[in-house]
Amino acid sequence: MTTHAIEIRRLLPADAALYRDIRLEALRLSPEAFGSAYETESIHPVGWFAERLERGAAILGAFQGSELAGIVGFVREVGPKRQHKGALVGMYVRQAARRAGVGRLLVDAALELAAQSVELVQLVVVKGNEPACRLYRRAGFVEYGLEQHALKIGGRYYDDILMAKDLVRRA
């Protein structure tokens, strides 16, 4: 990656081809970090990803010049009993952009977006992904649980650490 300034913005349906590329890369290179699978999503055309960007979670992209260096999603819960919560999902930063602050910029932007509509933000991170855990802790997330055997890939189990950040200051 070049050393261009990093721009964070919401991805639009017009960004579907870029989103598809980075999403499939994430699923292929870090299968333990996502509930979905490369084999499941790679069969879908660009139009499917465009629809997802239009109607699904808010997906934010980190651009270095014209290159999409990272992504994160924010999805708000629905229904009167759960709408005070949301979740960060699908976080991925390309290898060449890691340790350059891209992940923190994405998390900060997602939290800024979340603060407009929710009180609590949750996320799941695979146990053993220490760089991600450090990033989330620095952003104010705290661990509140562990889901053992959350994923099974090729006969191996992966545990998920459950984390949350309270966006409301309480006395």
Residue by residue, pLDDT tens for the chain (171 residues) are 344 689 999 999 999 999 999 999 999 999 999 999 999 999 999 999 999 999 878 999 999 988 999 999 999 999 999 999 999 999 999 998 988 899 999 999 999 999 999 999 999 999 999 999 999 999 999 999 999 999 999 999 999 999 999 998 754
pTM of the model: 0.92
**What pLDDT score was predicted for residue 56?**
79
d(CA 13, CA 24): 17
Q: What are phi and psi of 92, to 5 degrees?
A: -155, 135
Residue pair 61/72 in contact by the 8 Å Cβ criterion: no
**What pLDDT score was predicted for residue 57?**
87
Classify domain 6-121 at the CATH topology level: Aminopeptidase (3.40.630)
**What pLDDT score was predicted for residue 64?**
92
CB neighbour burial string for 112-145, b if at least 16 within 10 angstroms, e if fewer: ebbeeebeebbbbbbeebeebbebbeebebeeee
